């Protein structure tokens, strides 16, 4: 009964795919994607039901297996990442758990950057370790460290670029070559750039991890996650696990993120442009000692980042305020944060509203001082996820604190 979408012509650009992929219309012909808020699906007869449960016939049965709204989200994200398929998960961490369950068993070995998202480090270092999966944590930027960590049991290399909060960039192509020579897979967490800026499969990565909670939704409304990759892994390996283990993406959340992706390209362009302007301007402020942003010529992997990220730095930057010692650094960072009136004091990112964070006492607060020092996260470090406010208002908000230090 549904109004079949007209087939899309080949060669469409990502901005267009973000609007028109997977537009399945009901008999009402709604222009905006419908939200199928249902856990179960009525079957026409017992035979069809049996075929659908045996997967010998397409069709929806129960939302832990699939739901049309979630399927639309998956197809749209796969189109943007340039992968054959994608599968939704309850959150970004749910997607990483799903990847681990699908690829790893006791005795297997993983190599992972030690600068990855904190919960990712915990998941591999603590939770997967309980099941006999061993992880070696290596430098984000030094490929030789990755190479020397390879063992015969290495099954997965997992990277995230740029990192949070210091925006270190790794060489996706070099890691893909290394993984494939070792008979392993490379997965890349693409949260920070999103497919609008960076498409890791084009550089040889096998799997892409997403927290849809961040830039895909873009407005900080829901939790969502996904894995993008080849059909043989998505359909044959990961889908049966979601069906069994239940880290399924809720249809409502899938709908919100599907709508969010329509504006992904334009948001990433605008927020990256503002972030670059703020980063360049902060570099000239006397109260700031260092700015971390891949779009700056002063960034250690600037050329690599520009190649991998469509010439843009993304919307997250960090900076060190000046201070005589750790106590003064923290006081000065808190002063800058507390004097904002527009930018939100929060720890998430990927929102249209700018967010300011003190990593040393929040996202990295559970590390020891020695671990924090090793990670380069000082008490004077402030992270800024730049949103869509007017650039002058963002600068003025930062100046309230920076000019009164």
Radius of gyration (C-alpha) of the chain in whole angstroms: 22
320 binds ligand PLP (CB under 6 A): no
Q: Which stretch binds ligand PLP (CB under 6 A): 40-48, 64-72, 211-219, 393-401?
A: 211-219
Burial class for 42, CB neighbours closer than 10 Å (0-12, 13-18, 19+): exposed
189 binds ligand PLP (CB under 6 A): yes
67, 72, 91, 253: residue in contact with ligand PLP (rule CB under 6 A): 91
Which residue(s) pair with 86 in the sheet? Answer: 228
206 binds ligand PLP (CB under 6 A): no
165, 218, 225, 295: residue in contact with ligand PLP (rule CB under 6 A): 225
Question: Site mask, ligand PLP, residues 101-120, x = CB under 6 A?
Answer: ----------------x--x
Q: DSSP secondary structure string, 142-188?
A: -HHHHHHH--TTEEEEEEESS-TTT-----HHHHHHHHHHTT-EEEE
Q: Which is nearer to ligand PLP, 94 or 378 (CB)?
A: 94
Q: Please name which of 243, 176, 250, 180 lies closest in space to residue 217, comparing C-alpha atoms.
A: 250
Residue nearest to ligand PLP (CB): 92
DSSP state of 220: S
92 binds ligand PLP (CB under 6 A): yes
Q: Which is nearer to ligand PLP, 92 or 378 (CB)?
A: 92
Q: Which is nearer to ligand PLP, 159 or 321 (CB)?
A: 159
Q: Tell me the CB-side half-sphere exposure of residue 130, using CA atoms within 13 A.
A: 5
Min dist CB 348 to ligand PLP, Å, is: 7
Q: Please list, in sequence order, all residues whose beta carbon lies within 8 angstroms of the beta carbon of residue 399, skipping any fewer than 6 positions away.
A: none
Neighbours of 341 (CB within 10 A): 8
198 binds ligand PLP (CB under 6 A): no
191 binds ligand PLP (CB under 6 A): yes
Cβ atoms of 389 and 354 closer than 8 Å: yes
Q: Which stretch binds ligand PLP (CB under 6 A): 144-152, 171-179, 207-215, 372-380?
A: 207-215
Q: Which is nearer to ligand PLP, 66 or 120 (CB)?
A: 120
Min dist CB 28 to ligand PLP, Å, is: 32
Which residue(s) pair with 377 in the sheet? Answer: none
272 binds ligand PLP (CB under 6 A): no
93, 336, 377, 384: residue in contact with ligand PLP (rule CB under 6 A): 93
Neighbours of 19 (CB within 10 A): 14
Q: Which is nearer to ligand PLP, 120 or 379 (CB)?
A: 120
Q: Which residues bind ligand PLP (CB under 6 A)?
A: 91-93, 117, 120, 160, 164, 189, 191, 211, 213-214, 223, 225
């Amino acid at each position: 009964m549904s109004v079949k979408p007209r087939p899309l012509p080949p060669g469409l650009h990502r901005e267009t795919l973000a609007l028109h992929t997977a537009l399945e219309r009901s008999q009402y012909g709604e222009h905006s994607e419908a939200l199928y808020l249902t856990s179960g699906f009525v079957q026409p007869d017992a035979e069809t039901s049996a075929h659908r449960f045996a997967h010998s016939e397409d069709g929806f049965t129960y939302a832990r297996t699939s739901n049309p709204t979630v399927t639309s989200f998956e197809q749209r994200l796969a189109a943007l990442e340039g992968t054959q398929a994608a599968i939704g998960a309850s959150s970004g961490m749910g997607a990483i758990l799903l990847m681990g369950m699908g690829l790893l068993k006791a005795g297997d070995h993983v190599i992972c950057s030690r600068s990855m998202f904190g919960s990712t480090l915990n998941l591999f270092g603590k939770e997967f370790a309980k099941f006999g999966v061993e992880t070696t944590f290596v430098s984000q930027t030094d490929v030789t460290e990755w190479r020397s960590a390879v063992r015969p049991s290495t099954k997965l290399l997992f990277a995230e670029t740029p990192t949070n909060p210091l925006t270190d960039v790794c060489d996706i192509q070099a890691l893909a070559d290394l993984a494939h020579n070792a008979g392993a897979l490379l997965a890349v967490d693409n949260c920070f750039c999103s497919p609008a800026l960076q498409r890791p499969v084009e550089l040889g990565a096998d799997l892409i991890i997403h927290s849809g909670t961040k830039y895909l939704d873009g407005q900080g409304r829901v939790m969502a996650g996904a894995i993008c990759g080849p059909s043989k892994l998505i359909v044959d390996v990961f889908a049966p696990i979601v069906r069994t283990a239940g880290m399924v993406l809720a249809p409502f959340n899938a709908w919100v993120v599907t709508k969010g992706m329509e504006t992904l390209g334009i948001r990433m362009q605008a927020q990256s442009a503002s972030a670059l302007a703020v980063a360049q301007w902060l570099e000239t402020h006397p109260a700031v000692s260092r700015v971390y942003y891949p779009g700056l010529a002063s960034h250690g992997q600037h050329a690599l980042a520009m190649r991998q990220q469509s010439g843009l730095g993304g919307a997250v930057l960090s900076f060190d305020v000046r201070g005589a010692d750790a106590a003064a650094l923290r006081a000065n960072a808190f002063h800058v944060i507390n004097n904002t009136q527009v930018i939100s004091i929060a720890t998430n990112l990927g929102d249209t509203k700018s967010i300011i964070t003190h990593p040393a006492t929040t996202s990295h607060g559970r590390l020891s001082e020695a671990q924090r020092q090793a990670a380069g996260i000082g008490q004077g470090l402030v992270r800024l996820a730049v949103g869509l406010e007017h650039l002058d208002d963002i600068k003025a908000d930062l100046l309230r604190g920076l000019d009164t230090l």
